[in-house]
Amino acid sequence: MSENNQQLLDSVVAKAKVWLGDAYDDETRAEVRRMLDADDKTPLIEAFYRDLEFGTGGLRGIMGAGSNRMNIYTVGAATQGLANYLKENFKDLPQISVAVGHDVRNNSRLFAEVVANVFSANGIKVYLFDSFRPTPELSYAIRELGCQSGVNITASHNPKEYNGYKAYWEDGAQIIAPHDVNIIRCVEAITDISDVKFEGNKELITIIGKEIDDKYLAAIKGLSLSPECIERHKDLKIVYTPIHGTGVKLIPESLRNYGFTNIIHVPEQDIPDGNFPTVDSPNPENASAMAMAIAKAKETGADLVVASDPDADRIGAVIRDAKGEYVLINGNQIVMILLNYIITRNKELGRLKGNEFIVKTIVTTETIKSIADKNDVKMFDVYTGFKWIAAVIRDLEGVERYLGGGEESYGFLAEDFCRDKDSVSAISLMAEIAAWAKDKDMDFLAMLQDIYMKYGFSKECGISVTRPGKSGAEEIQAMMVNFRANPPKSLGGSAVTIVKDYGSLELTDVAAGTKSKLDMPVTSNVLQYFTADGTKVSIRPSGTEPKIKFYIEVKGSLESAADYDRANADAEAKIEAVKADLGI
């Protein structure tokens, strides 16, 4: 063993032995002892080589014993740090309050109760949901109840081994500057588990549930733009699956509220289960996760297939292609369809007054920019993550009207009474769009083709390269360094004309040989390349998983629906050429 490796192991062993002390429960001590005694020290190193980082979005990691794992101690320390900051920031309030929710994952209820206990032990009033709820409802509850903060225990669509901790601010959005770095400072100051107040005060914990559900669902019903179309097509066949997650709680009810009467379930996947037993991954952007819903659609001749991820903030959708086969549409297309509908219907209803805006993330399709420009609607580009979309909504609140916003990773927000992506409202509106399209003798495919013909054809491809563990994190970092040092000269046969480096907030105009500053609130580890023919490539490490992500968008032309297959084939060939140039 090299000297460096021995030093790492020695530091890990010393750190792990602290977890054998009386401050930790029997189960935790036994798990740590097993790792210490094992011949293979890899699990021990992975569990203790660092502290699970409380980042700008909170925590996310594999569950288990150790400082680099999600457990009651890392969750407790994070909550103590957040409580300390809330007491510092809102010291003049007579009573600070928070809302706490959770998803269906293993240990989620346990972690949520730990969060509630730590907050209440610090004199903070807690509104704790009675059971699992969609993430966006937690955001709604913060605003509705006038809370100063909130926590949701969820790892979104990560594999079953993971759990997470999302921290929210008083506007119902995930935390951004200056509060993010200040909270991180307070969390990092918790260096000993004895600093955490685990013994809760039951008098400060209020259980909430149906009363918030009803208000939230009523607000979502208020987003409907075409109730008369739904009335004419209320028996539309809609297959919905929550993929064992929280969506089962509210999404079928929201569809019924909208007026739909023919909601077809996938019974096996209606069962909440943190092991996600019927899928390899509970991610609705993966075809395998949608297989059972598609089978049900084939069996019933469904018009639309929709899904939510385990915490019901992301939406998946399946439509019929020209051959009658059920195919997934990607996150870019979902956002594009929803925004096109909302803008179009607002225009038809005479509601566009010139002060409307939409928001997308920088890695999401540029076709949305075309839709906004041609309809005289302002569009904002922000970093990945709905906290940045929420920040624009907050900055323009009471001045301009938010119509909707989304990101390519299957997230959309149609409302401003919630400040995180919301599959409950998105799925309700997607069903309404199906009814609206049917009223025009169109199906989803024809509607999608119509958008491409009006606003320009594009095709996107997302690729994630996974590199787990400490060595993987180092490899991902090295890849970003290499792309910065050696940017491609061309992609897919077209010259790179613009390079955007959000790490340095620098835009390089390759053709002109000039540099300028990018107008963004903070730096971010993202690179973008734009080519002469409209191709866009974005590269960024994931903030929640051991992955580096590549987002490829290529442009094309679509003159008629009959030309759709050709346009797709040409775009796929170009994407393959771009991938080859990137070495992925």
Average pLDDT value for residue range 335-361: 97
Which of 32-46, 149-163, 240-254, 542-556 has the lowest average pLDDT? Answer: 542-556
Do 302 and 385 sit in the same domain of this protein? yes
Contact 433, 337 (CB under 8 A): yes
Do 375 and 243 sit in the same domain of this protein? yes
Average pLDDT value for residue range 159-178: 95
Domain assignment present for 58: no
Residue holding tokens 């939230």? 216
Do 199 and 236 sit in the same domain of this protein? no
Average pLDDT value for residue range 270-274: 97
Cis peptide before 178 (omega within 30 of 0): yes
Strand order in the sheet with 411-413: 378-382, 356-361, 401-407, 411-413
Task: Indicate whether 581 pLDDT > 80.
Answer: yes
- Band the pLDDT of 471: cuts 50, 70, 90: confident
Task: Indicate whether 1 pLDDT > 60.
Answer: no
Catalytic site positions = 156
Question: How many structural domains are present in the chain?
Answer: 4
Residue 156 burial (CB count, 10 A): 26
Q: What does the pLDDT read at residue 3?
A: 67
Domain assignment present for 80: yes
Half-sphere exposure of 184 (CA within 13 A, CB side): 16
Average pLDDT value for residue range 168-184: 93
- Band the pLDDT of 72: cuts 50, 70, 90: very high
Q: Which pLDDT tens digit goes with each residue over 200-229?
A: 999 999 999 999 999 999 999 999 999 999
Looking at residue 70, what DSSP letter applies? B
Do 265 and 390 sit in the same domain of this protein? yes
Do 375 and 386 sit in the same domain of this protein? yes
Q: Which pLDDT tens digit goes with each residue over 518-572?
A: 999 999 999 999 999 999 999 999 866 788 999 999 999 999 999 999 999 999 9
Do 31 and 119 sit in the same domain of this protein? no
Domain assignment present for 213: no
Do 450 and 306 sit in the same domain of this protein? yes
Domain residues for 95? 68-208
Do 339 and 487 sit in the same domain of this protein? no
**Helices and strands (H, E) in the chain, number of each type:** 18, 23
| Contacts (Cβ under 8 Å, ≥6 apart) of 91 | none
- Band the pLDDT of 467: cuts 50, 70, 90: confident
Do 443 and 402 sit in the same domain of this protein? yes
Q: What does the pLDDT read at residue 2?
A: 64
Please name the amino acid found at residue 325. E
Tokens of 55: 């980042």
Average pLDDT value for residue range 465-488: 88
Q: What does the pLDDT read at residue 311?
A: 97
Task: Indicate whether 102 pLDDT > 70.
Answer: yes
> What does the mean pLDDT of the chain come to?
95
Domain assignment present for 335: yes
Do 21 and 44 sit in the same domain of this protein? yes
Do 566 and 523 sit in the same domain of this protein? yes
Give, for 182, the enclosing helix (H) or strand (E). helix 179-188
Do 248 and 182 sit in the same domain of this protein? no
SS3 537: strand
